[in-house]
Amino acid sequence: MSKEARTEIDSLGEFGLIKLLTEKNTSQNESTLKAVGDDAAVIRSGDHLKLLSTDMLLEGVHFDLSYVPLKHLGYKAVVVNLSDIYAMNGRAKQITVSIAISNRFSVEAIEELYSGIYLACSNYGVDLVGGDTSASRQGLVISVSVIGEVEEDKVVYRSGAHENDLLVVSGDLGGAYMGLQLLEREKSVFVDNPDIQPDLDGNDYVLERQLKPEARIDIVDLLNKMEVVPTSMIDISDGLASEVIHLCDQSGLGANVYDEKIPIDPMTYQRARDFELDPGVVALNGGEDYELLFTVKQSDYDKIKGNPNLTVIGHMQNKDAGIQLIAKNGTQHELSAQGWDAFLKQNRS
Ligand code: ADP
Ligand code: MG
């Protein structure tokens, strides 16, 4: 065997690997307006734009069927895809669903998965239009692709922010991560002692954030109604810190993020404390909240202020100023993405 160079994937990380694989990618069709690098690809189609995005969920990597009900899993597999379309300020229209299943699963189990898929389709007004079905040696794989639409003057990229734009987040953060911590804890208790019943009472909100997340089409509608077109936008799948860095990198800017402004639900806060975690760190780095992070012009502030669904957490600034997290007492430090990385922490989605 020849001794060829071997680079470990870990040394690049997920984003490094995608960059390596796609840096030489070129488009041959004029209709390809945006290829790799945003929440969805953007394709010209007559008088409007089509949006296309895809996500894959693997058993043992992205979900654990010992505590994730199949119906919820089907629902979530669709919702996380829709979220990427909403992050472009678009509307999701059609999905395809591909599955690989081992013989461990019964027909009834896969029907249960599909009941969640159909519920998400019905709730979000999207049509299931196809897919693929295969056997798998081990476990379950679900891959969903979604097509959306947006008008050309409404599409929002990660790269459109300007200096002094306000940085805004929808909803609250960190809940999905605390839901996961609770589920993992109860699982380990159960593994140690199968006679003990899971104790998850009183945690509905954070459990729902983890098991049955929603995508924020209501925020896309709200912004449209308020006549606000964000200058840049991304959905929060990997954690706020990581997504702020994406917006900054792609817009060629820095940012100030004010720690005490980051919205945290009281239950998330309390559960973080119970686990002896810093709620602020959980909100910054816990993934899977599927909220929207976006920037707006300062002149739009009056339109969004006071809305309970929207929180201004900072503003964009010159690249040289860096990306700063500013604490209540005024101390600041450079924001880093300690968020999980699919290749480094393989138990998260
Ligand atoms: P998101 O978190 O919004 O789902 P990702 O971080 O998964 O986005 O992907 C970032 C970008 O890289 C997207 O434009 C996606 O389409 C692209 N991408 C991811 N994996 C690959 C791949 N294996 N080949 C080509 N493009 C990829
Ligand atoms: Mg995304």
Q: Are residues 121 and 265 in the same domain?
A: no
Q: Are residues 186 and 99 in the same domain?
A: no
- Where does a domain end: 118, 151, 184? 151
DSSP secondary structure letters along 103-135: TTS-HHHHHHHHHHHHHHHHHHT-EEEEEEEEE
At residue 348, the pLDDT reads: 41
CATH number reported for the structural domain that contains residue 90 in this entry: 3.30.1330.10
Task: Decide if 43 is inside a domain.
Answer: yes
Task: Decide if 156 is inside a domain.
Answer: no
Taking the CA of residue 293 as centre, how many other CA atoms within 13 Å lie in the half-sphere pointing to its CB? 33
Q: How far is CA 202 from the centre of its chain?
A: 25
| CB of 18 sitting under 6 A from ligand 1 | yes
Residue among 90, 247, 233 at smallest CA distance from 154: 90
Q: Are residues 97 and 203 in the same domain?
A: no
Q: How far is CA 297 from the centre of its chain?
A: 24
Q: Are residues 184 and 108 in the same domain?
A: no
Distance from Cα 257 to the centre of ligand 2, integer Å: 20
Q: Are residues 173 and 235 in the same domain?
A: yes
| CB of 13 sitting under 6 A from ligand 1 | no
Task: Decide if 3 is inside a domain.
Answer: no
| CB of 21 sitting under 6 A from ligand 1 | yes
Task: Decide if 342 is inside a domain.
Answer: yes
Domain count, the chain: 2
Residue 128 backbone phi and psi in degrees, to 5 = -80, 120
Residue 79: domain span: 9-22+30-151
Indicate the DSSP class of residue 298: G
| CB of 37 sitting under 6 A from ligand 1 | yes
CATH number reported for the structural domain that contains residue 338 in this entry: 3.90.650.10
| CB of 38 sitting under 6 A from ligand 1 | yes
Task: Decide if 63 is inside a domain.
Answer: yes
Distance from Cα 117 to the centre of ligand 2, integer Å: 19
Whole-angstrom Cα distance, residue 39 to residue 278? 29
Per-residue pLDDT of the chain (349 residues; tens, 9 = 90+): 557 889 999 899 888 999 999 999 999 999 999 999 999 999 999 999 999 999 999 999 999 999 999 999 999 999 999 999 999 999 999 999 999 999 999 999 999 999 999 999 999 999 999 999 999 999 999 999 999 999 999 999 999 999 999 999 999 999 999 999 999 999 888 778 877 777 788 899 999 999 999 999 999 999 999 999 999 999 999 999 999 999 999 999 999 999 999 999 999 999 999 999 999 999 999 999 999 999 999 999 999 999 999 999 999 999 999 999 999 999 999 987 665 454 444 334 3
- Where does a domain end: 123, 151, 179? 151
- Where does a domain end: 151, 178, 199? 151
Task: Decide if 59 is inside a domain.
Answer: yes
Ligand 1: residue whose CA is nearest its atom 10: 37
Q: Identify residues whose C-beta is under 5 A from ligand 2, the ion.
A: 39, 84, 235
Q: Are residues 108 and 245 in the same domain?
A: no
Q: Are residues 202 and 289 in the same domain?
A: yes
